[in-house]
Amino acid sequence: MAAHWGWREACFAWAALHLLLGLPLNAWLPRAAAAAPLPQPSGDAVAAPSAPEPPVAIPQPRLVLVLLGLTFACTSLVTTAMATHLPGVLQAAGVSLTTAVALGALVGPAQVAGRLLELGVLRRLHALLTARLAALAHPLGAAALLLAGGTAAAPFALLHGVGNGMLTIAKGTLPLLLFGAHGYGARQGWLMLPARVVQALSPFLFGLALQRLGSVALGLSLALSLAAFAALLLLRAPAAAGEAPRPAGRQGASAAQRP
Q: How many domains, in total, are found in the chain?
A: 1
> CB under 8 Å to 149, separation ≥6 — which residues?
93, 94
Q: What is the CATH number of the domain that holds 162?
A: 1.20.1250.20
Domain that holds residue 140: 62-234
CA-to-CA dists, residue 147 to 66, 128, 211, 212, angstroms: 33, 29, 20, 19
Q: Where are the alpha helices (DSSP H) in the chain?
A: 2-5, 7-17, 23-27, 62-92, 97-104, 107-119, 127-148, 153-179, 184-213, 218-234
Determine the pLDDT at residue 230. Answer: 94
Determine the pLDDT at residue 259. Answer: 37
Determine the pLDDT at residue 248. Answer: 38
Whether 95 maps to a domain, the answer reads: yes
Whether 229 maps to a domain, the answer reads: yes
Determine the pLDDT at residue 70. Answer: 93
Whether 249 maps to a domain, the answer reads: no
Angle at 209 between CA 205 and CA 92, to 5 degrees: 130
**What pTM does this model have?**
0.70
Whether 224 maps to a domain, the answer reads: yes
Whether 14 maps to a domain, the answer reads: no
The series of mean pLDDT values per 10 residues for the chain, 259 residues long, is: 90 95 91 62 52 60 88 94 91 89 90 86 83 92 91 92 91 87 87 91 91 87 94 80 40 36
